[in-house]
Structure 1
Amino acid sequence: MFVVAFLLAAAAAVFFSAGHGELPWSHDICRYGDVLCQQPSWLGIPALLSLIWALFLRVDRL
């Protein structure tokens, strides 16, 4: 579950950077994922929720 949280957070960071034009390939990323370039929080919130869920499952085993 930590892997899923990391992948979602990394994708949110890439779309956030592409939305602000900070990456050299920003145009290519935003051409296919225009909605995610405008709203990277749509990936950030599930990343945070999956991280909380993964921590909850880890604490449950202790």
Structure 2
Amino acid sequence: MTLDDMRESLTNSGAGLIEWAAKVQGADTVEIDWDGTLRQAPKSILLTQAINHATEHRARS
């Protein structure tokens, strides 16, 4: 992966998070596999974790 490829990927993933953030409602859930057990997880928690994770990576740059 080239540096330009990485920039494009970051731009696309950031735009996707922004788009998703505008659509997620507090009551929205998604089914996830947690160690072999299917569970309902709030989409807002997953969104928050994704944003925090991305922020950590950008802070290291």
Query: What TM-score bracket applies, with the shorter chain setting the length?
Result: 0.3 to 0.5
Return the structure number with greater helix share: 1
- TM-score of the pair, normalised by structure 1: 0.44
Of the two structures, which has the highest relative contact order with CA contacts closer than 8 Å and spacing of 6 or more? 1
TM-score, L = length of structure 2: 0.44
Larger strand percent:
2
